[in-house]
Amino acid sequence: MIPDPATGQTIHLRRSGTSVVLDLDPQRFPCVLHWGSDLGEVDAAELTEVQRALTMPHVDSVISAQNRVAVLPLHSSGWLGRPGLTGSRNGRAWSAAFSLVTHEVHEAGSPEWSDGAVDAVRVVSVGRDEPDGLTVSTEIELHPSGVLRLRSTVCNEGTDDFEVTGLLPALPVPPEATELLDMAGRHTRERTPQRRPFDVGQWTREAWGGRPGHDSATVLCAGEPGFAFRRGRVWGVHVAYSGNQVLMGEHTVTGWRLLRGGELLLPSEGRLAPGESYASPWLVASWGDGLDEFSGRVHDYVRARPQHPRKPRPVLLNTWEAVYFDHDLETLLDLAERAAALGIERFVLDDGWFRHRRSDNAGLGDWYVDEGVWPDGLHPLVDRVHELGMEFGLWFEPEMVNLDSDLAREHPEWVFQTVHGPGVASRQQHVLDLGHEAAFDHVLERISALVAEYRIAYLKWDHNRALVDAGHSTDGTPGVHRQTQAVYRLMAELKVRHPGLEIESCCGGGGRLDLGIMEYADRVWVSDCIDAHERHRMVRWTGLLLPPELMGTHVGSGEDHSTRRMHDLGFRAGTAFWGHLGVEWDLRGADATALTELGAWISAHKRWRELLHRGRVVHADLSNPALWLEGVIDTDGDTALYRLSALDHTLTWPPGRVTLPGLDPDRRYQVQVLASGDRVGSGTVVPGWVRDGVTLTGRVLGEVGLQAPLLDADHLVVLLASAVEP
Q: Which of 23, 182, 528, 678 is catalytic?
A: 528
Side-chain half-sphere of 169: how many Cα atoms within 13 Å?
28
β-pair type (551-556, 523-525): parallel
Q: Is 366 a catalytic residue?
A: no
Edge-to-edge strand list for the sheet holding 271-272: 85-88, 162-167, 271-272
Give per-residue burial for 599-619: e unless 16+ CB within 10 Å, then b.
eebbebbbebbebbbebbbbb
Taking the CA atoms of 70, 72, 76 and 79 in sequence, report the sign of the dihedral they define: positive
- 309 in Cβ contact with 502 (< 8 Å): yes
CA 220 – CA 398 distance, rounded (Å): 30
Q: Which one of the listed residues 350, 462, 531, 714 is annotated catalytic?
A: 462
Burial bucket for residue 377 (CB in 10 Å: 0-12, 13-18, 19+): middle
HSE (CB half, 13 Å, CA atoms) of 256? Answer: 28
Q: How far apart are CA 372 and CA 351, in angstroms?
A: 15
Burial of 593 from C-beta contacts in 10 A (0-12 / 13-18 / 19+): exposed
Nearest in space to 280 (alpha carbons), one of 292, 264, 293, 291: 264
Q: Determine the Cα–Cα distance for residues 263 and 171; give it in Å rounded to an integer.
A: 16
Q: Decide if 462 is catalytic.
A: yes
3-state secondary structure of 586: coil
Taking the CB of residue 341, how many other CB atoms lie within 10 A of it?
12
Element of type H or E holding 464: none
Judging by beta carbons within 10 Å of its beta carbon (0-12, 13-18, 19+), is residue 194 exposed, middle or buried? exposed
Alpha-carbon distance 602 to 470, whole Å?
A: 43
For residues 64 and 159, what is the distance between their CA atoms, to the nearest angstrom? Answer: 36
CA 552 to chain centre: 12
Q: Rounded distance, CA 53 to CA 56, Å?
A: 9
The catalytic residues are: 462, 528
